[in-house]
A and B are shown apart, each in its own frame.
Chain A
Amino acid sequence: MSGRARVRARGMARSPSAAEAGRTRAPPSPTSVDTGNNEASSTSSFVGTSRKSQSCQDVVSSGDAGCTFTERGGKIRRDFKDLSVCTREKLAHVRDCKRGSSGVPVKLVTNLFSLDLPLDWQLYQYHVAYVPDIESRRLRIALLYSHKVLSNKAKAFDGVVLFLSQKLEAKVTELSSETSRGDTVRMTLTLTGELPASSPVCTQVFSIIFRKILKKLAMYQIGRNFYKPSEPVEIPQHKLSLWPGFAISVSQFESRLLFTADVSYKVLRNETVLEFMAGICQETGMSCFTQMCEKQLLGLIVLTRYNNKTYRIDDIDWSVKPTHTFRKKDGTEVTYVDYYKQQYDITISDLNQPVLVSLLKSKRNDSTEARVAHLIPELCFLTGLTRQATSDFQLMKAVAGETRLSPMGRQQRLARLADDIQRNKDARFELETWGLHFGCQMSLTGRVLPSEKLLMQDLVCQPGSAAEWSKDMRNCKILSARSLNKWLIICSNRDEKVTEDFLHCLRRVGSSMGFNVDYPKTIKVQENPAAFLSALQRHVDPNVQLVMCILPSYQKSYYDSIKKYLSSVCPVPSQCALTRTLNRQGMAMSIATRIAMQMACKLGGELWAVEIPLKSLMVVGIDVCKDEFNKGMVVVGFVASTNPGITRWFSRCILQRATTDVADCLKVFMTGALNRWHRHNRGLPARVVVYRDGVGDGQLQTLLEYEVPQLLSSVTEASSNTSAKLSVIVVRKKCIPRFFTEGNRSVQNPPLGTVVDSEATRPEWYDFYLISQAAGQGTVTPTHYNVIYDDNGLKPDHMQRLTFKLCHLYYNWPGLISIPAPCQYAHKLTFLVAQSIHKEPSLELANSLFYL
């Protein structure tokens, strides 16, 4: 949160009239009997419907300027926004067909279900006006719904806009209803639109209908997903429980409307904010306690224990205690302690805790005053996993162990959901009144791309399994390696023997792979981070090729201080390893092999290659991630190949102040990469293909308007005559569809290299799915590729195959990975900077994969 916003929050919090105890209140409306809590009311189906149709308004209003509802709140879902970015129509070569041809066809089962509508189906949109005007949305809804004209019709209404699946007789319909006070209210329904089923507005109305249905199936909505709290998975060791459920959506796919469902788990943490703060206090001590609390807590989403609502922590007010009073809406003053006792029968035990401050989103545009809620840390739970938790290996292993589902397990859950929807009486009734038919699970045909051969120094090898080829590479020589002559090993006094043994193995495996490792200078130090750092400062000079550190413990400060010093202050490639790892029984050779490969890469070596038919092609990977410490900063990583074989890389990284994930420095990086290419290859590349990862929902338009032009201008400016052709592809690791192959009365993950470019794709995009990684016991997630810009005009088949080839080239893993190697390199680089260095790495390291 920005300093200014915090001041604002603080200022508000102190103004007594604005202080509320964790609740928002609507102004009293005539017949409202709500005590002021803002939970879903008894008329939850109304509220449920209207909330969603409110979000439709933005879409509708864009084509319907005459309506007044545009001012009312409600945001369109971000991923729906991306769907309205039609990039395919500008790409002439794929306008008619975006399908590839090579490979073996394979029949795939999906998690997509068809939704059928009558051919002439339309959605009718009405504007509803009230005389006299009524402010209360709930009353507006109740009055309209109670009218007999609408009583048996399928409808969705938010207080202003009404959607019906059947047209009313007249364009303008006058109705009147009586309030319980006996006042007559006239309602005028004016037809404002007739929308075909393919309209985005309809898609949103369908989503509303399905949410209603899933609630009928006793599922619990959190965010956009639905969970079954009655069947929790518990992991007490990590203070977590998991709720199984589904992420669902309804949208228009390549040729038809489809319902999609994917198994999802909600992670709930059994840890209050107060306990979290106590933990911080114990770790950091009182001196920087408040500072650390703010650093770690601001921006997090918490869930209140009593009213089931989530809030963002915008500030912590250390001056307010639970014993202080606040003013309720009715003007009476009450202490927080008494309020929670009276209202919720909850006793606050810690009377010295501060209060959390959350800015409330204003529901009505006319309220000029931002409102805040005061929350008691003891009554707030942390939600989801913090980044710290996601980097906890054991925790993630435990979560993965519980949530991992085999394709068969997943398929069974999907089948059960579909069955529940089809059997539930209320659900069926709801679908029928709208004229919808919930169909069967869809199958489609994909293709398995031909497998790739690996090019080693003196042979071409067809790996036994593309998932992992370390065995195939045993005794093969890597493509090229510089010999390691001048290098250092720093280890603790105790670890001399381990180091010696390791060195012996390293030299042995090195020589068999063609990587010559000389004896290093070994420096023994005390067992603390400062001793390691001072050894670096004393012994490392620019002539040193590489520094290896054998670390005695897991303290992160060892790693961070070493990486920071050797990436920016004194740029020399470094390799860290834990004593514990080197000591693993029976693993010495394989660990030494992996370390040797990494070291070779860090010195600029090349391990293997695949055949690239395009000559003079540069591939680029871009990733963006948030800095671990400075929440306002993002780290942008840019990695470009510098030779036609795609085995050498140029890597840049920058930290920038930004509130969005959109890269701001691409022109400089791209120009740098082209210069580098020019120097190595005496000319510019004919083609540049950029893979952009780390794109959030709703950013597609910005990418198109902001990033593509940056890349394009540096490509055109690089040459005065014919400039390189550019393609930009958005890579998404998270996507809705899942694919399975059927066989033996069970379903499995599809083979590696499976491409899907029909049915599950989107009509407005040039996109495809590729499965390029093995999933072990779980279900594989396909990677989605969306070509948003394409001067190269490659055939879709070539684009798909190129992408698949690039998934073979990540040198940290002898096997296929889920995304093209340049993206994974960019990811690894940004991760190192965001987690450990927090600084731009030195340009001198740009030519080696120093961050592996």
Chain B
Amino acid sequence: MEHCEVLSKKVIEFKPPVYEQRYYFVKNLVNQHGHKKIADLGFGDATLLWMLKYHRCVQYLVGVDIAAKPFEWGGGRLSPGVGSYIIPRELDLTITLYRGSAVQKDSRLCGFDLITCIELIEHLDSEDLAKFPEVVFGYFSPGMVVISTPNSEFNPLFPASTFRDPDHRFEWNRKQFQMWALDVAKLYHYSVEFSGVGDPPAGAEHVGYCTQIGVFQKNSTKPTELSISEPEEHVYEVVYTTSYPSLQQSKYFRFTLSIEAVKAIDLMKSRFLRGPRRKEGDRVVPLGSCTPQHGLTEAQRAEIEQSPKPYSVGEKFYVPLERLLAYPKVNRLVAGSTEKLRTVLAEGLRLNGDQTAVQVELVDYHTQRLFDEHLVSPALES
């Protein structure tokens, strides 16, 4: 599908390459509209899906390809990386790949916000091409469809004058594509806008973009009758599925919040230990500021300084929950709720008796084992 770049290399070089431009075209649309459920028909090597998985708004990503093989799919770059576990996404994300054809109906593809068919239709024979609109527009009926296909008017600029790929059944000029698209749009109540990627070289502007793209938007947003009344049809075969850790899952939420709290506490503790202190009853309180310098605006720091101060009693260090709540990252996670902060932190950290502050050890244990020369068993030494 990607050979226009190869053939055009000697004559026309696109920067970035046209296939990348096509993907960025889709990415921009997703940024604009904040699509939640996206399907890519004919996902090929899944590069577009991989690029889309980084969007924060996306929650369901589906790929369908007739050549998807179950055994070759280790998931690779579509599976969550270590980083996705350390900093979980805000929203859930599930990625599923199916083996199936764009001209087969499968009810699991209904109700999407966006369906992309990048360099797909030119691979369909006339019979399939005829079925295609009914399946994608009529049955799947997503909020938006993006279809890209080669613009044959551009072909004379390439050295070889045949199709760009031997598997192409046709390559349309702009008029052919637009007529087809307008017919489809009219029939299924979509509006369509035409665009493209791959600018023609200077002097040849009249041929238009290398790749022509139609962006179809559904006229009515209310769910179609069809997708509700028709029975479930599962003809696609699942070849791969994965889901990402996210803050919507309590396990990851709790851990992320605890980590943010501990980070704030650690910095406070280290400033507390280094700065001047005063004894007030059984408490030792900091005299000066106890706010870390880094990563906060003046205003944020001032707000933190106004909240209840941390203190120590004996070898324990206490940070009031109100204080933690003044830290923007912590605040955002619990949406300002002390009650939520208390409940969640109580599961992973230690709170004081009346549940108003987090309690940690004041002592810096880094060097304890050096000092306690005589108490260290050899199991700890090695």
Contacts and interface: CB of A to CB of B under 8 A. Distances in A.
B191 to A, nearest CB: 28
Given A35-B23, A42-B45, A575-B373, A236 B258 contact: yes
Contacts of A307: 81, 83
- The range of chain B's interface size is 35 or more
A30 B8 CA distance: 12
Interface stretch (B169-177, B181-189, B277-285, B289-297): B289-297
Nearest to A836: B370
Contacts of B367: 391, 554-556, 559
B165 interface: yes
B263 interface: yes
A332 B20 CA distance: 13
Contact of A42 (B46, B258, B348, B379): B46
Contact of B6 (A31, A34, A47, A222): A31
A827 B6 CA distance: 61
A236 B374 contact: no
B76 A41 contact: yes
Nearest to A773: B379
A241 B85 contact: yes
A305 B83 contact: yes
Contacts of A48: 74
Interface residues of A, number: 99
B363 A45 contact: no
Contact of A40 (B19, B76, B365): B76
Nearest to B259: A270
B76 A733 contact: no
B234 interface: no
B17 interface: yes
Given A279-B270, A303-B82, A332-B15, A236 B259 contact: yes
Contacts of A576: 371, 373
**Interface of A, helix, strand, loop or mixed by DSSP:** mixed
A72 interface: no
Contacts of A39: 50, 76-77
Candidate in B16, B259, B366, B370 with the most chain A CB atoms within 10 angstroms: B370
Interface string A262-301: 0000001011001100110111000000000000000000
Given A391-B369, A393-B368, A818-B378, A215 B348 contact: no
Contacts of B266: 239, 279
A270 B293 CA distance: 20
A436 B30 CA distance: 48
B360 interface: yes
Given A275-B263, A591-B375, A282 B75 contact: no
A391 B371 CA distance: 12
A484 to B, nearest CB: 16
B313 interface: no
Interface in A564-608: 575-578, 581, 591, 594-595, 597-598
Given A303-B82, A577-B371, A824 B378 contact: yes
Contacts of A239: 259, 262-263, 266
Interface in B7-28: 15-17, 19-20, 23-24, 27
25 contacts: A31-B2, A31-B6, A33-B2, A34-B45, A40-B77, A44-B72, A44-B76, A181-B165, A238-B262, A278-B293, A279-B267, A282-B292, A282-B294, A306-B83, A342-B27, A343-B54, A381-B86, A576-B371, A576-B373, A577-B373, A578-B368, A591-B375, A594-B374, A813-B377, A827-B382
Interface of A: 28, 30-31, 33-35, 37, 39-48, 180-182, 215-216, 220, 222, 229, 232, 234, 236-239, 241, 268, 270-271, 274-275, 278-279, 281-283, 303-308, 328, 330-332, 342-346, 349-350, 381, 388, 391-396, 426, 551, 554-556, 559, 575-578, 581, 591, 594-595, 597-598, 733, 773, 776, 810, 812-813, 817-819, 824, 827-828, 831, 835-836, 852
